[in-house]
């Protein structure tokens, strides 16, 4: 069981109704954490609770109803959790969604939802737990970024912008909170088999008679191929579990998945025209 001295360790995981968040909540519960599993619709908790029971960790998870786009609701939920458990050792900022479409055709409301969810929601959650983590002398914050936080592809500019923002914020944050024993890590997965893909495909922004129709179709073909062969997301949950348990996080960035380790080297070291040409070739794929 994860304990801090004799105190039981607690974790807060956002976006725990499906995908990585569900698996991370179960993984942390298996490791002995008492887990607050955040979801905006607690009516979706059955899959999480079933997975937790199967893992023998059902009693260690409770659901918290929270939409990460509401800063006031976040403050209240964190205060409530602190009243009940006294501490928050681990925050996993995982909740997210992917807006698809070419910049010109994505309405401003969708750009705002993208940033409110993936970036400002993560900032608000982080701000809400920092006073408690400072007071208790430490904690771990795991930010769910993406290869899209390093590499922008056409058709997913809004998603890339949100994840680039997460990267910059977390790079700065790590300096700010290290003196208080607070560890910050970015997890940068490549493509994994979760619901995010189907949700994104069902909600692409495209105008009728779009001048981008051909390019969008090519990007979608590539994305569908990638989604169909994407690996099991459990390895991402296991990585987050290991990071939560570590006393020191020597690295800021933890890339994981197909091509994810190579990508940072490619985008930082190769001449940009080479990166761009390779990206365009990948997007054209099997036209
Ligand atoms: N799967 C991949 O290939 C991949 C790769 C790199 C990074 N990621 C990142 O991994 C994270 C998890 O995504 P996933 O792949 O596991 O997809 P997912 O199964 O769709 O999970 C996303 C979770 O975020 C929740 N969420 C969305 N908006 C929210 C809001 N406003 N407030 C609270 N919760 C909200 C969803 O809740 P609802 O059920 O209510 O929608 C769901 O629980 C995201 O940050 C994503 O960008 C995914």
Distance 16 CA to ligand 1 centre (A): 8
- Does residue 144's CB lie within 6 angstroms of at least one atom of ligand 1? yes
Q: Mutation test of ligand 1: which of 14, 21, 45, 142 has the most ligand atoms closer than 8 Å to its C-beta?
A: 21
CA of 24 to the centre of ligand 1 (A): 12
Q: Can you give the pLDDT at residue 200?
A: 87
Position in ligand 1 atom list of the atom nearest CA 93: 45
SS (HEC) of the chain = CCEECCEECEEEEECCCCHHHHHHHHHHHHCCCEEEEEECCHHHCHHHHHHHHHCCCHHHEEEEECCCCCHHHHHHHHHHHHHHHCCCCEEEECCCCCCEECHHHCCHHHHHHHHHHHHHHHHHHHHHHHHHHHHHCCEEEEEECCHHHCCCCCCEHHHHHHHHHHHHHHHHHHHHHHHHCEEEEEEEECCCCCCHHHHHHHCEECCCCCCCHHHHHHHHHHHHHHHHCCCCCHHHHHHHHHHHHCCCCCCCEEEECCCCCHHHHHHHHCCHHHHHHHHHHHHHCCC
Is the CB of residue 155 below 6 angstroms from any atom belonging to ligand 1? no
Q: Evaluate: CB of 70 within 6 angstroms of ligand 1.
A: no
Give residue limits of the domains in the chain.
Answer: 3-284
Q: Is 212 a catalytic site residue? A: no
Question: Ligand 1 in contact with 82 (CB < 6 A)?
Answer: no
21 Cα–ligand 1 center, Å: 7
Give residue 265 CA to ligand 1 midpoint distance, Å.
Answer: 26
Cβ(149) – ligand 1 distance below 6 Å: no
Reply yes or no on domain 3-284 having CATH 3.40.50.720. yes
Give ∠ CA 189-192-195 in degrees, rounded to 5: 120
Q: Is the CB of 205 under 6 A from ligand 1?
A: no
**Count of alpha carbons within 13 Å of 83, Cβ hemisphere only?**
6
What is the chain's pLDDT, residue by residue, as a tens digit (287 residues)? Answer: 465 556 789 999 999 999 999 999 999 999 999 999 999 999 999 999 999 999 999 999 999 999 999 999 999 999 999 999 999 999 999 999 999 999 999 999 999 999 999 999 999 999 999 999 999 999 999 999 999 999 999 999 999 999 999 999 999 999 999 999 999 999 999 999 999 999 988 889 999 999 999 999 999 999 999 999 999 999 999 999 999 999 999 999 999 999 899 999 999 999 999 999 999 988 876 44
**pLDDT confidence of residue 4:** 56
Catalytic residue among 33, 159, 192, 254: 159
């Amino acid at each position: 069981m994860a304990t801090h001295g004799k105190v039981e360790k607690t974790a807060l995981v956002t976006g725990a109704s499906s995908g990585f968040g569900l698996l991370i909540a179960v993984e942390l519960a298996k490791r002995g954490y008492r887990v607050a599993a955040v979801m905006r619709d607690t009516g979706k908790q059955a899959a999480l609770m079933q997975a937790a029971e199967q893992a023998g960790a059902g009693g260690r998870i409770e659901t918290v109803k929270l939409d990460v786009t509401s800063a006031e609701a976040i403050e209240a939920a964190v205060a409530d959790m602190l009243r009940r458990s006294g501490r928050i050792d681990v925050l996993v900022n995982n909740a997210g969604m992917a807006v698809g479409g070419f910049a010109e055709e994505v309405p401003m409301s969708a750009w705002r939802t993208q940033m409110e969810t993936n970036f400002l929601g993560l900032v608000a959650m982080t701000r809400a737990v920092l006073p408690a983590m400072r007071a208790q002398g430490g904690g771990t914050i795991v930010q769910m970024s993406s290869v899209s936080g390093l590499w922008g592809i056409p058709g997913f500019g809004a998603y890339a912008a949100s994840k680039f923002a997460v990267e910059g914020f977390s790079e700065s944050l790590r300096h700010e909170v290290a003196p208080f024993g607070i560890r910050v890590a970015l997890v940068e997965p490549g493509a994994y088999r979760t619901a995010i893909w189907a949700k994104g495909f069902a909600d692409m922004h495209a105008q009728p008679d779009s001048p981008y129709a051909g390019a969008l179709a090519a990007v979608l073909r590539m994305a569908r191929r990638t989604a169909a062969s994407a690996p099991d997301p459990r390895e991402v949950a296991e990585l987050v579990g290991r990071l939560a348990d570590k006393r020191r996080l020597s690295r800021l960035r933890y890339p994981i998945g197909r091509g994810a380790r190579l990508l940072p080297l490619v985008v930082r070291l190769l001449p940009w025209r080479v990166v761009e040409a390779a990206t365009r070739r990948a997007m054209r794929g099997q036209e």
